[in-house]
Structure formats: C-alpha cells, structure tokens
Amino acid sequence: TPKVAIEKNITSLKLIGFDILPENDFLDSRQTLLVNKSVHIGLAAPKKSMKTYFYKNSDADEMLFIHKGKGNLKTLLGNISFEYGDYLIIPRGMIYQIEFESEDNRILYAESFDPIYTPKKYRNWFGQLTEHSPFCERDYKLPKNLVSFNEKGDFLVKIKKQGMLHEIIYGTHPFDVVGWDGYNFPYGFSIHNFEPITGRIHQPPPVHQTFETKSFVICSFCPRLYDYHPKAIPSPYNHSNIDSDEIIYYVDGDFMSRTDIKPGHISVHPSGIPHGPHPGTYEGSIGKKETHELAVMIDTFSPLQVTENALKIDDGKYFKSWLK
C-alpha cells in the first residue's frame, strides 16, 4: 500500500520521473506517486523480464504507457508486441508476463479500480467507434499467436488483491488456454496513431481524450497543427481546475506552454487553483504553425494524494515557475 505524504494538496508539483532508479524486477520497479480511491498512478523502470513468476492484478485494470523499451506482453489469451509510444490496456484478472528486449525501460502506469473504456462520445449505440473518433478499431494491437501449455509443475502466480501481493502456486501452467471468445481482453494502442482534432481557435483538452473511466480520463497530446484563425494565439489560456486534478507526463518534443520541461517529467496541477502557460510562452507561441509535443495527460475527478515516493522526486520549486 502506498504511503501518503500529503493527503490534501493544493500545490503544483513537478516530478522528475527519470530520477526513479531502475530495478531488476518488474513489480519492485513500480513506484506509486499519486493516489485516490479510484486510481493509483506511478512510474516503473524495470530492467529484467518476468521469467520466474506470472502476475495478475485482481483489484484494477492496468494502463501501461511505454516511454522507453520494447518487448512482448504475454497473456493467457495470446501475445502483444509493444514499443515506444504504446498504451497497453490490461483488464483486471488477466494473468500475464512481460518480456523486454533490453534493460532500458521506462513505463507510466495507472491502476484503475473502475473499468477502462474508450470514450463514449466516440462510440455509436452499437459500441463501434464512429468516423469522428481520432482513432479506430484497426489501430488496436490485439493478442496474437496463442500458445497453449499443457504442463504440470509448480508455477508461481503473484496476485494483487485488496492492495496486497499474494503468492499462489498453480499446479498447471497458467497459459493453458486452447481458445477464447468475448470482449474482455488486453490490447495495445500506439499514441502515434492518435489523429489530433484541430480547429481555427484553441481546442479544449477533451479533444485529446483517448480512454475514460467514470472517475478519470486519459488524453494524448500529439504532434498537430496549431490554431489557424488569423488572430489566434496558439498558447492555451489560464484556467482553474474545479472538477479535476490534472497531471501531464511529458514524453517527447517541445511542450509549447511550459518552460524547463524535459521527457519523463510529470506536472501536477491540483484543482482549486489556476494554472496556465509559463511567462513568455504566450508571446513565443504567436506565429507558430505546429507542435511536435508528445505527452500523456490524466485528469482525475477526485483529488489526488501525494505519496512519499513522489516527494523524493519533486523538484520543490515548480509552484514558483509562474513568477517572472
């Protein structure tokens, strides 16, 4: 269970994500940074593949965003290859192992205690993604190459239940499935396949929405054209979060509204106070035609608590960065 350091937070934070030290083991490497009753958000830097055990999260759906590394997600329903920029959505109860091709891996993860769906505003009443959606079903990476293991022995399965990690020995191989059917399965989606929605004037953050639950949304900020009205100022306006805490994980490129932001940083903008572009970025955005930024945003509808792990990588001065 994550140790909460700040239960009620109203201070903007910048977390230096790459300060998370790599660990050999996948589960040991996961450092939970921000939590509420609906979601746990953290970073991981695993070096080794899972070879000595299998894992199942019985508490939560998992979203793994691959910032660095490539490999193979092995599940009882088949395998999904992944690489830089991939989201992996793993439903609760899914037994899996994860293989990496190298030791240089960086992952943003969210454990959601509510099911993770595609945005309902992009689905018709049959459940299909519609033409105005910024992605489609053809973009999904689905489980492939199902391999059935008919083996007996002692197979260690680590199961997360009620926030505690239990160790269970299976008498047969967990990947003994010979076939499957249904709609509850893991899948991948590349942030590079998200087609941004642009406009003559500034488009609000919901146009970047990629996944949703009843308690938070996940958005993808991707390379795109800026606003193209002749009098448009591409930099977004200052705003107050009233309904959500906002965190942004910076992946790549130059984020137009921020200064001193690098890949792996996380900005935390809590509800209740305003935030917006840093000084100088308004003026600097005028005349710009496009951005090559890449970032993942998570907006939670309940306040996030800050863990001890987060404070260890907090720069301690981000809240002053709006002062000239």
Sequence ranges of the domains in the chain: 21-191, 196-320
Contact status, residue 8 vs residue 306, Cβ threshold 8 Å: no
The amino acid at 247: I
Task: Please report the pLDDT score of residue 82 as a whole number.
Answer: 98
The answer to whether the 21-191 and 196-320 domains have the same CATH topology is yes
Task: Please report the pLDDT score of residue 301 as a whole number.
Answer: 96
List the strands of the sheet with 39-44, edge to edge: 4-6, 305-307, 31-35, 39-44, 106-112, 61-68, 86-90, 187-190
| Distance from the Cα of residue 181 to its chain's centroid | 27
Q: Per-residue pLDDT tens for 263-316?
A: 999 999 999 988 877 777 767 777 778 888 899 999 999 999 999 999 999 999
Mean of pLDDT values over 43-65 = 97
Q: Give the strand pairing for 152-161 and 54-57.
A: parallel
Residue 161's pLDDT band, with cuts at 50, 70 and 90, is: very high
How many helices and strands in the chain, by DSSP H and E?
Answer: 3, 24
Would you say residue 227 has pLDDT above 80?
yes
Per CATH, the number for 21-191 is 2.60.120.10
Task: Please report the pLDDT score of residue 128 as a whole number.
Answer: 93
Mean of pLDDT values over 31-60 = 97
Among residues 94, 61, 93, the alpha carbon closest in space to that of 80 is found at 94
| CA–CA dist 224, 9 (Å, integer) | 33
Residue 166's pLDDT band, with cuts at 50, 70 and 90, is: very high
Mean of pLDDT values over 5-13 = 96
Lowest mean pLDDT among 38-52, 135-149, 196-210: 196-210
Would you say residue 17 has pLDDT above 90?
yes
Residue 324's pLDDT band, with cuts at 50, 70 and 90, is: low
Contact status, residue 304 vs residue 248, Cβ threshold 8 Å: no
Task: Please report the pLDDT score of residue 256 as a whole number.
Answer: 67
Residue 95's pLDDT band, with cuts at 50, 70 and 90, is: very high
DSSP secondary structure, 215-284, as one string: SEEEEEE-SEE---STT---SPPPEE-SS-EEEEEEEES--TT-SS--TTEEEEE-TTSEE-PPTTHHHH
Residue 159's pLDDT band, with cuts at 50, 70 and 90, is: very high
Contact status, residue 294 vs residue 253, Cβ threshold 8 Å: yes
| CA–CA dist 69, 305 (Å, integer) | 29
Higher pLDDT, 183 or 298: 298
Task: Please report the pLDDT score of residue 282 as a whole number.
Answer: 66
Q: What is the 3-state secondary structure (H, E, C) of 210-229?
A: EEECCCEEEEEECCEECCCC
Domain 196-320: which CATH number of 3.30.450.40, 2.60.120.10, 3.40.190.10, 2.30.30.90 = 2.60.120.10
The neighbour count for residue 109, using CB atoms within 10 Å, is: 18
What does the buried/exposed string (b/e) look like for 215-246 if buried means 16 or more CB atoms within 10 Å of the residue's CB? bbbbbbbbebebbeeeeebbbbeeeeeeebbb
The amino acid at 101: E
Residue partners of 324: CB distance under 8 A and separation at least 6: 279
Cα-Cα-Cα-Cα dihedral sign, residues 278, 284, 285, 289 = negative
What's the half-sphere exposure (Cβ side, CA atoms, 13 Å) at 122? 19
Task: Please report the pLDDT score of residue 238 as a whole number.
Answer: 79
Mean of pLDDT values over 250-269 = 86
Token duo for residue 17: 């994500």
